[in-house]
Amino acid sequence: MRKLIVSRTTNSPEVHFDPEAGRFEISGESRPPNVPAFYDEIIGWVNDFSRQVSGSGERRDPIEFNLDFNYFNSSSAKYILDLCKKIAALRSSGENARIRWHYESDDNDMLEVGREMSRMARIPFDYVQKEVGDSKE
């Protein structure tokens, strides 16, 4: 399975999906000029990955998706929720998939958004509190 690596810009997050290394991470700010085009590639990759691991019967390591946003706009929120639902479907298929939702200790809004996404996607999140300034900027 190919890696999906997208460099961070001032408007879009870094994406680092590397199945061999077991690294699945999106981090940064999400307000790309063309939100559907940006997230369609990510969701398509997760669909391909899901088909591969669900059909193989061999992968049993936990599949941890780290979502570490410091901001995302409402257009991005819809696609982030869609991504969470895809991960929830992977989990429902029997894979040990989970979402780790990162938020800064003083950002209760981001924590609440994570709780709401968890509820809507029907997958429990692990919440990772980070100290202010720990962001990978």
pLDDT at 60 over 70: no
Number of domains in the chain: 1
Instruction: Output the domain CATH number for residue 104.
Output: 3.30.750
Residue 136 domain-assigned (yes or no): no
Residue 135 has pLDDT above 60, yes or no: no
pTM, 2 dp: 0.92
Say whether pLDDT at 46 is over 60: yes
Within-domain flag for 135? no
Task: State the pLDDT at residue 136.
Answer: 54
Structural domain for 41, as ranges? 4-130
Task: Inform me whether the pLDDT recorded for 35 exceeds 60.
Answer: yes
> Which pLDDT score, from 0 to 100, does residue 130 have?
95
Helix-strand-coil split of the chain, %, nearest 5: 40, 30, 30
137 domain residue, yes or no: no
Q: Over the stretch 70-121, which tens digit does the pLDDT of each residue have?
A: 999 999 999 999 999 999 999 999 899 999 999 999 999 999 999 999 999 9
CB atoms within 10 A of CB 58: 6
